[in-house]
Amino acid sequence: MSDQSLEATFAEFERLFAKTDSLVRVVLSGRRRNMQTPNERIDIRPVTLKDGLAIQVSHSDGRQMTSKNYAPSEAPFAQLLRAGYANVLLEHTQGSLALRITKKGEALVHRESGVREQDLSHDRTKSRLLDAADPFLIAVGISDAKGHVKPSKMDKYKQVEEFLRLLMPTLTSAISAGHIHQPSESNPLTIVDLGCGHAYLTFAAHQYLRAQGVAVKVIGIDVRGAARDRNNEIARQLGIDKTIEFRAEEIADTTLGSADISIALHACDTATDDAIAWSVNADVKLALIAPCCHHDIQAQMSEIPEPWSLLTRNGIMKERLGDLLTDALRMQIMKLRGYRVEAIEFVGGEHTPRNLMIRAVKTGALADAGDEAKYEQMLTLWKVKPALATLLNR
């Protein structure tokens, strides 16, 4: 797409944004190649103040949310639109407009029709994707019998919602780009939740995507037979057992041979590597993996290259550096296997310290020799061997 046609798309966004009576929200995220954005993600929505309608612009620094309200005519939307973001989603009451700018500078545009409602309440509480009274939330134990989220489950509820907020636009972009087929009831998307546990996310993904009109078949994998039996019984009671199922299997040894999408929320330590390895070997087109408990590389960090001992002599800093090394190597391995990979924050640190997500889309693009060389240099420098490399025979 030329700069001129990209500007035409920006102009379409601006026209829709100016219609404040139908504007629902805007999300800007990701970073265009060789550009630096002011924040990792920006959320924009109209709100009602005592003086009238305003535009609320919010961003998170990973610790707290910062919001500023503008008069509609003074909102800096045009500047933010051109500030280097790779993904722009605008929702209005009659549908949505999504833009993704690839690393090659190609602009992929997706338009969708569908009724949405404005929420003009002036607070920092996000509009909820999941109704707390949904029968599945009651069945899995997040909500009580009266349809209220249990206080002890509020953080889990917010994690699942944030996961879904990332899943839908990512999925839409992948379908628009042709990386994932257009789903239908005769050819639904297959989604596997690797290490599903109590299946909060498994059921949420199924119910939310189905409610959005996306045909899916969802499979939950967990080693515990009791979890399989419980979750299959919940699916039966909810009447959705034809499109969701659970298996009691190790991730590494699952009998499931393929899937379009893999998700894993806080699979512990090398279980994350099992989930990524299965995804790569199964040629999964979209993987959303939230790692947890990075002990593997940390245990190997015995010979510290200088001057990095300035960090590693402090235990907590060594641990965090080990986390970063682990996930950076995981991402590089996936890139070498034909994935476009990025690390994003998927839920604020006030809800969980494990707030990084690896988002990977299979494009089939070949990595260059420089990518391979950097990966090998990192292994040599730190004298480590990632568990994922062993699983993939690298």
The domain spans of the chain are 3-113, 135-391
Among the ranges given (202-206, 310-314, 383-387), the one the predictor scored with the smallest mean pLDDT: 310-314
Q: What is the pLDDT of residue 176?
A: 82
- What is the pTM assigned to this prediction? 0.69
Q: Are 26 and 89 in contact (CB under 8 A)?
A: yes
Mind listing the pLDDT tens digit for each residue in 143-199? Answer: 999 999 999 999 889 888 888 888 888 888 888 888 999 999 999 999 999 999 999
Q: What is the pLDDT of residue 368?
A: 87
- What's the CATH number of domain 135-391, 1.20.1630.10, 3.10.129.10, 3.40.50.150, 3.40.630.30? 3.40.50.150
Q: Is pLDDT at 352 greater than 80 in this prediction?
A: no
Mind listing the pLDDT tens digit for each residue in 90-102? Answer: 999 999 999 998 8
Summary mean pLDDT of the chain = 89
Q: Are 254 and 222 in contact (CB under 8 A)?
A: no
Q: What is the pLDDT of residue 199?
A: 94
State the alpha helices, DSSP H only, in the chain. Answer: 3-18, 77-81, 135-140, 154-176, 200-211, 225-238, 270-281, 295-300, 309-312, 315-336, 369-382, 387-391
Q: What is the pLDDT of residue 353?
A: 46
Residue 64: pLDDT band (50, 70, 90) is: low
Helix (H, G, I), strand (E, B) or coil at 229: helix
Q: Which of 70, 211, 21, 193 is nearest to 128 (CA)?
A: 211
Q: What is the pLDDT of residue 122?
A: 65
Q: What is the pLDDT of residue 102?
A: 85
